[in-house]
Amino acid sequence: MKKSILIIACTLLLTTSSCIINNPEAEDCAVISAEIIKITEGTSYDIVFTERSGERYYINRGLEQNLNLDNLNASVLNKTVTLHLPKFIIGTSNHIAQLAIKDDVIFTEFD
């Protein structure tokens, strides 16, 4: 019984800790292209980007990082962007680690 509880606890710890995004690196990200059709304010000062397929991606606390919805709408809306999304053991996050249009980096968390 104690062994089963220990295995479950370790599994939960590994699963939840693998979903924490802390200092992502480019090599640990999936890189996708997306046409952005909507940009909105999300919860906790997040900026949410909606692509043509309806999939949503976000910049965590983007409004606290000197990003502005008006400027983003002018530069990103209805354009195809490149997104770097951190990968986890269980899949890919919708958290944006880097947002770029061609070679112009609009936002990055990379050092």
Neighbours of 69 (CB within 10 A): 13
Q: What pLDDT is stored for residue 70 in this prediction?
A: 97
Q: What pLDDT is stored for residue 24 in this prediction?
A: 81
Please tell me the pTM assigned to this model.
0.80
Does pLDDT of 1 surpass 70?
Answer: no
Q: What pLDDT is stored for residue 7 in this prediction?
A: 59
The pairing of beta strand 98-101 with beta strand 91-92: unpaired
Does pLDDT of 57 surpass 50?
Answer: yes
Chain center to CA of 40: 15
Contact criterion met (CB below 8 Å) for 35 and 78: yes
Alpha-carbon distance 46 to 106, whole Å?
15
pLDDT: which is higher, 30 or 5: 30
Does pLDDT of 47 surpass 90?
Answer: yes
pLDDT: which is higher, 87 or 19: 87
Q: Which residue is it, tokens 């980007």?
A: 49
Give the largest CA-CA distance in the chain.
59
Q: Which domains does the chain have, with CATH numbers?
A: 22-108 (2.40.50.140)
Query: What average pLDDT score do residues 44-50 get?
Result: 97
